[in-house]
Amino acid sequence: MKYMDEYRDPAAAEAWLKAIRGLVTRPWTIMEVCGGQTHAIVKYGLDELLPSQVQLLHGPGCPVCVTPLEKIDRAIALASRPDVIFCSFGDMLRVPGTDRDLLSVKASGGDVRIVYSPLDAVEVARRNPDRQVVFFAVGFETTAPGNAMAVHQAKMTGVRNFSILVSHVLVPPALEAILGSPTCRVQGFLAAGHVCAVMGYREYEPIAERYKVPIVVTGFEPLDILQGVYLCVKQLEEGRAEVENQYARVVSADGNRPAQSVVSEVFEVVNRSWRGIGEIGASGLGLREAFADLDAERRFDLSAVGPRPEPAECISGLVLQGRKKPNECPAFGIRCTPERPLGATMVSSEGACAAYYRHRRKAEG
Amino acid sequence: MKDELALSCPVPAGRYEQVLMAHGGGGRLMHQLLERVFLSAFSNPALDTGHDAAVLDVGSSRIAFTTDSYVVRPLFFPGGTIGTLAVNGTVNDLAMAGARPLGLSAGFIIEEGLPIETLERVVASMQGAAKEAGVAIVTGDTKVVDRGKGDGIFINTAGVGLVEHGLRIAPAAVQAGDAVILSGDVGRHGMAIMAVREGLQFESAIESDCAPLSGPVLDLIGAGVEVHCLRDLTRGGLASALNEIAAGAGVGIAIDERQVPVREDVRGACEILGFDPLYVANEGRFVVFVAGRDRGRAVEVLRRHASCEAAVTIGHVAAGDPGLVTLRSLIGSTRILDMLSGEQLPRIC
């Protein structure tokens, strides 16, 4: 497949591995931020092929994994209402809330629909004027423009029965939270290429500077990741801490300005809670006052669904911060499996625990 | 932010007490449902073999007997219809027991309001598929349900076939050293359906691989190939079928991802939707486990059939790791190819 096979070529992969092996003189710990990268690393077994001195840690960049329990419970409450059509991306449906998940709500008669685009949800609202349509707006900077566009379009065209349940999170504050922790083990980052395609990479420069940590904007194919690791190790070995762009075929310094513009028109930066991690200041997006009437949490009375305590049965918070590997959890593969997940990291296809379970159980489990 | 990040995690999700769509997805949830509800209630030697069809002794003969239901949407798609699926699916379940199909039944559950013309098109496609497979539809049943209580039309087919050889074709016959042969490219049927449902446009439509498989299978047996097990790759795709056989046979299976053919348009559609073609449904593909020495001849015999012209050896049965399927990835590392938990769900990004 053009523009894809080139980045999965075994001979080129071996050449990059050889280059990394020739570069590394001591142990380094690098975090890949995005769940999509975690998935590719485990699917292609890249971490097995890397020299043992290079340890990859899995970051908090799986949107499904970090959506807080309270939001899932609110989604479930909304989806259970007979007057609501609840639209969501597919992989949110299996995430466990306090008592059940959205798939169970659907099986109980809730009108829960998988959509591929938030604009599809607006269309559902147009076709069902007598029902309320709620879209579950989750994700990082990658999904924010599409969700903002849906809100913008619904508002401009007067689709009054459409609203969104917002749980957007932002990458840079999460990186700073990880770097600011006294137990931080991360020495370099592979930044998420998709996020930077929207936002550019200028916002990472102060972080690299402040924390003296190399940040390499990296894509999602095996060769992207190996090249990203190479560039990161090279900086570490040379004592540099800069922002570099491996994913130049997609990412520019300034990103996608029209996308940023619609995001900032519709959303504003707010404090946001991350599942398994806790609240991080200025780490999320919420609807601006001008669009408050499209906020599902204001439109519907959800006061009964408040924050719930989360028992510390599993270690997904540690996994999301790169402080533990999934298979270091005593429950991994025993009390926690993709069929009966303890935490969201075992649910999403991008979650580190699920990726390990599917692809690596035997090797390290 | 506190100095130390707070650590907490969700509560355990309870055991599902209602049937979910994922219980029909061909993955681990479906197998759990089968074991919990059906196998525990119906257990008997024929059922417990875990085969696509039951093989029963009738006097001095052996017959294969199977049934399946079809609830596909849309009813018509590139490369087939619900009717061609209903015929070929049951013919193929018989073929996977190494049986020659003798006759099929067809049961129709029709939703009030379905245009007669639609029904006629479905039935005509069934007759065409039956003719191609060399089998007759010899009995049937029709029920009509209220509008809103069906999805246009549901079809159940059952089939009886004759087992004319002495081979024992079942997961339990699989042994170390067997070759694993795949009859052609994977993922076409599932992505043909998804492309229609989701309105994906490609340069040319992805066509389902829907086809009868009894011809190639009977030729394999007729050519004296020592066939140990056969499995068609329907829901759950290649990965689920291999896991079922590895678990049923108590063996390890090792395959090479580079040998598994996937058409470029199918790969593209899978990339867009975040699916793995190894888990996508097929309706005209199967794997066959044969004695290692017969692998070359088996591939040669299969390739004589149009539906199997891309047949290829994709791996072998290993002595260790009972129940485990391992895959050598495109770039040369080895990983587990697990059974899917439920359905494949489109990813956020």
Q: Which residues pair with B57 in a beta bridge?
A: B62
How many other C-beta atoms can be found within 10 angstroms of the C-beta atom of residue A105? 23
A134-148, B10-24, B48-62: range with highest mean pLDDT: A134-148
- The answer to whether the CB atoms of A138 and B348 lie below 8 A apart is yes
Residue among B8, B12, B348 minimizing CB distance to A64: B348
Contacts of range B266-271, beta carbons closer than 8 Å, 24 or more positions apart: B266/B185, B266/B186, B266/B187, B266/B188, B266/B191, B266/B206, B267/A1, B267/A4, B267/B187, B268/A1, B268/B202, B269/B191, B269/B194, B269/B195, B269/B200, B269/B202, B269/B206, B270/B187, B270/B191, B271/A1, B271/A4
Residue among A46, A97, A139 minimizing CB distance to B348: A139
- The answer to whether the CB atoms of A42 and B264 lie below 8 A apart is no
pLDDT greater than 50 at residue B14: no
Q: Which residues pair with A273 in a beta bridge?
A: A279
How many angstroms separate the CA atoms of B19 and A164, rounded? 28
How many angstroms separate the CA atoms of B342 and A339, rounded? 8
User: In the prediction, which pLDDT does B11 show?
Assistant: 29
Give the model's confidence band at B234: pLDDT under 50 very low, under 70 low, under 90 confident, else very high: very high
Please give the average per-residue pLDDT across B29-45, as a whole number: 89
A-B contacts at Cβ under 8 angstroms: 191
- Radius of gyration from C-alpha coordinates of chain B: 21
What's the angle, vertex CA A41, arms to CA A39 and CA A45, rounded to 5?
A: 120
Distance of residue B220 Cα from the nearest chain A Cα, in angstroms: 34
Q: What does the pLDDT look like over A93-107, one tens digit per residue?
A: 888 888 888 999 999
- The answer to whether the CB atoms of A8 and B334 lie below 8 A apart is no
> In this structure, is the dihedral angle defined by the CA atoms of residues A20, A21, A22 and A25, taken in order, positive or negative?
positive
Which residue in chain A is spatially nearest to B267 when comparing CA positions?
A1
- Phi and psi torsions of B199, nearest 5°: 70, 30
Q: Burial of B125 by CB count in 10 Å (0-12 exposed, 13-18 middle, 19+ buried)?
A: buried
Q: Which residues pair with B252 in a beta bridge?
A: B318
Q: What does the pLDDT look like over B300-349, one tens digit per residue?
A: 999 999 999 999 999 999 987 899 999 998 888 888 898 876 667 666 65
pLDDT greater than 60 at residue B77: yes
Please give the average per-residue pLDDT across B17-44, as a whole number: 85
pLDDT greater than 70 at residue B9: no
| Bond preceding residue A206 cis, omega within 30 of 0 | no
How many angstroms separate the CA atoms of A32 and B45, rounded? 51
| Contact (Cβ atoms closer than 8 angstroms) between residue B82 and residue B72 | yes
User: In the prediction, which pLDDT does B246 show?
Assistant: 95
Please give the average per-residue pLDDT across B42-59, as a whole number: 90
User: In the prediction, which pLDDT does A363 show?
Assistant: 37
For a pLDDT cut of 90, what percent of chain B falls above it? 72
Which residue in chain B is spatially nearest to A343 when comparing CA positions?
B10
How many angstroms separate the CA atoms of A224 and A298, rounded? 42
User: In the prediction, which pLDDT does B36 show?
Assistant: 87
Model-wide pTM > 0.90: no
User: In the prediction, which pLDDT does B342 show?
Assistant: 66
Please give the average per-residue pLDDT across B203-225, as a whole number: 94
| Contact (Cβ atoms closer than 8 angstroms) between residue A40 and residue A221 | yes
For a pLDDT cut of 70, what percent of chain B falls above it? 93
> Pairing mode, if any, of strands A215-218 and A188-192?
parallel
Task: Using the structure block, give the residue that is written with the tokens 């939707």.
Answer: B273
Task: Using the structure block, give the residue that is written with the tokens 């749980």.
Answer: A167
pLDDT greater than 50 at residue B5: no
| CA neighbor of A355 nearest in space, from A330, A340, A333 | A333
One-letter amino acid identity for B253? Answer: I
| Contact (Cβ atoms closer than 8 angstroms) between residue B295 and residue B179 | yes
> In this structure, is the dihedral angle defined by the CA atoms of residues B177, B178, B179 and B180, taken in order, positive or negative?
negative
- The answer to whether the CB atoms of B330 and A142 lie below 8 A apart is no
Please give the average per-residue pLDDT across B64-82, as a whole number: 95
Q: What does the pLDDT look like over A135-144, one tens digit per residue?
A: 999 999 999 9
Residue among A49, A276, A338 minimizing CB distance to B9: A276
pLDDT greater than 70 at residue B214: yes
> Looking at this predicted complex, what is its ipTM?
0.77
Give the model's confidence band at B15: pLDDT under 50 very low, under 70 low, under 90 confident, else very high: low
Distance of residue A21 Cα from the nearest chain B Cα, in angstroms: 17
Instruction: Give every residue of chain A whose pLDDT is below 70, as ranges.
Output: 1-2, 309-312, 349, 361-365
Q: Which two tokens stand for residue A25?
A: 């003189």
Task: Using the structure block, give the residue that is written with the tokens 């499995």.
Answer: B231
Distance of residue A233 Cα from the nearest chain B Cα, in angstroms: 21
What DSSP designation does A117 have? S
